[in-house]
Amino acid sequence: MEQLKNPLTGDTLYRTVHPTGLEILVWPQPQARVAYAVFATRYGSVYNTLPTANGGTEEVPEGIAHYLEHKLFESEEGDAFERFSATGADANAYTSFERTAYLFSATENILPSLEILLDFVQHPYFTPQTVQKEQGIIGQEIRMCEDDPERGVLFNLLQAMYHTHPVRIDIAGTVESISHITADLLYRCYARYYNLHNMVLVVAGKIDPEQVQQAADRLLKPAEPFTPVPYTVEEPETVVRHRVEEAMPVSAPLFHLGFKEPQLTHTPTTVAASRMLLKLLCGKSSPLYARLMEEGLINEQFGAEYFNGPGYGVWLFGGESADPDRVEALICEEIGRLQQEGIDPERMEQLRRATYGSIVSELDDSAYCGELLLDDVIDGIPPLSRLEAFASMTAGELTAQLRTRIPLENRTLSVIVPQKDQKG
């Protein structure tokens, strides 16, 4: 394995591309009590097509990536969760817009748990009967989510922001869309996207890199060559609507204010700038946060995040507020001011120290470290290169990021208001 020494943390990472095509990253932490492993594929809900033999594409049902995640834990021998239970590992999985990940954390029996992870993800088992049974389970999950105001305020926003990009579609799909999923279609999606050339294994914490390499040599199966096709979608830079509102049974209005980022190629600088800009704009030490609190416009639930993937990027601010429109106006005012005046170098230095310090404090958490490495791989940047970008970024560079990546005109406010019979 190639050794990658990080000059800022002093840690040594290990990286290799296995002969089967799988990229493997190991971050050993001798002081750790826990090992965290995640086996992921670059396949999430936005990948809603399959290539056809004639060079075209075939649309697949919405929610199929999430459906496949659920089904992959089953096998002829039993459930993978039962196998993990026998080793004492805590296993889970998740599907996002751009990836599907299978993971576990463990304090003992780490190698047996890693072998289970590598084994079950490579052995799909679908039958018409089990696929049909899962439709009822996931259908019930979807119906429950339809009544969730937090889900509603987010997907109302995305549907009002994006014209055609599938990020506007719920990751789980709809009850109607999943009814078209078959065992054959699951196998075809699996064969396309669960190719080891399209996947990554990350292990962090209480682990020996050589043991990971040996487990990979024993269990990984050769994969057909895979040529990733660049993700393209015809999506205008504008938003569909600037405001969307829905009444639901909530005690106070919920809101999400989103800014639609122009499409860009991510670099360590853009990744580092994302976290720093959120702290700059509305971190708890920011002037904007203080003003919103003083005016009683937000409470402790207020927060912000940035998320991105192939062909999309969203800057999101949200929480509870009796006057979401006023919150929108003040956020836009502050962004506009900073875009016009630029970021003060002294403020930039305070921001850098606070951001870097918060990241370093989280490096004792093996799960955080594992997901950090996975994020870097999915974003297409060198492992931990964002840390070096934090250390070298200037106020001018951060100002340029703010001016080009948060267009005030391409924004949407999504609001969930209390139903009339819910108002006191």
Determine how β-strand 35-41 pairs with β-strand 199-205. Answer: antiparallel
Query: Left if phi > 0, otherwise alpha if psi is -120 to 50, otherwise beta: which for 35?
Result: beta
* Contact partners, residue 140, CB within 8 Å, separation at least 6: none
In angstroms, the Cα distances linking 422 to 149, 230, 248 are 14, 48, 9
Phi, psi of 91 (to 5 degrees): -105, 155
Q: Are 385 and 268 a contacting pair, CB within 8 Å?
A: yes
Q: Active site residue: 69, 320, 328, 371, which one?
A: 69
How far apart, in whole angstroms, are the C-alpha atoms of residue 282 and residue 176?
Answer: 40
* Contact partners, residue 234, CB within 8 Å, separation at least 6: 164
Q: How many CB atoms sit inside 10 A of residue 54's CB?
A: 6
Q: Active-site residue 141, yes or no?
A: no
* Contact partners, residue 405, CB within 8 Å, separation at least 6: 261, 262, 264, 270, 273, 277, 313, 315
What are the residue numbers of the active site? 69
